[in-house]
Amino acid sequence: MIVLTVLGGVLTGCASPEATRAGTVVRPTASEKPATTPSRAPETGPPVLAPGPGGLTPVFERRAAGSAVRNGAGAADKVVALTFDADMTADQGPRAAEGERFDNPGLIASLRRLKVPSTVFMTGRWAQEYPDQARSIGTDPLFEIANHSFSHYAFSSPCYGLPTVAEEDMRGEVERAFTAIRRTGARHVVPYFRFPGGCYDDASLKALAPTGVTAVQWDVVSGDAFATDADAVAGQVLEGVKPGSLVVMHCTRSAAPVTDDALRRIVPELRERGYRFVKVSELMRG
């Protein structure tokens, strides 16, 4: 296990151009066993790391720029994890009632047709609004569902104008989301968490440690949030992917309308380059 402290960095996610974050990062490697005993969260399959140094939630990112994930035989394995944030804030119910679509069934259909294993980071509010889709995704072995909070509010501030969760409510945001997701009948629910906007600090990492989740960031930004040019989104992903990359995209039609079109260019091109698609759980085991 490699443990290091990130003092600052730039990343992008959930409808945001850039984010700067700090915190303790725990990165597993293929050749080293975790210094802590792996544990399993209820109703989940893949192991998670025990809380990091100082009782902080561990944070998983791609190992190092340009490095390859290694398989059991020790050969370089060109793998990439596509992740999709299913965003919906707690107060967007009226907009959904008026017809705004926060889902993207066409995107999920494309992933199935192209046979792309994927991880969907789902808010509890999205699961409540689209329970049939959440159950369909969460019972399909092609997918796994991870936690994106219940309300999609920020866990540190400032964070692109998002309302901020009080520190004492952060744990409840995660637990409430897991409850909402599992109530749909979803079974493939994994103990991973993505901070809304990618925004976090030591206080939020400490607040989430009791939940047993591992926070998952990314190294490739698709730029699909509010984008109108599918080719530009595809080009950005194709330019950024390296062996072991973790890509952030969105499963929200109103906020990311061209993601499905971009995906249908990205997948064949990466396969032509020799890449294999994996879920986050497999990438973490790499």
Taking phi first (over 0 means left), then psi (-120 to 50 degrees means alpha), and beta for anything else, what does residue 240 get?
alpha
CA-nearest of 205, 244, 282 to 45 is 282
pLDDT of 17 reads: 34
Q: Indicate the CATH number for domain 2-285.
A: 3.20.20.370
Query: In the structure encoding, which two tokens stand for residue 126, read together?
Result: 């999205």
User: pLDDT truncated to tens, each residue of the chain (286 aa)?
Assistant: 222 223 223 333 454 433 333 333 443 333 333 323 233 333 445 555 555 667 899 999 765 443 434 333 233 589 999 999 999 999 999 999 999 999 999 999 999 999 999 999 999 999 999 999 999 999 999 999 999 999 999 999 999 899 999 999 999 999 999 999 999 999 999 999 999 999 999 999 999 999 999 999 999 999 999 999 999 999 999 999 999 999 999 999 999 999 999 999 999 999 999 999 999 999 998 6
pLDDT of 125 reads: 98
Rg (CA), the chain: 17
pLDDT of 90 reads: 95
If DSSP codes are grouped into helix, strand and coil, which group holds residue 281? helix
First to last CA, the chain: 12
HSE toward the beta carbon, residue 39, CA cutoff 13 A: 16
Side chain identity, residue 113: R
- How far is 44 from 35, CA to CA, in rounded Å? 21
Cis peptide, bond prior to residue 243, ω within 30 of zero:
no
pTM, full prediction: 0.83
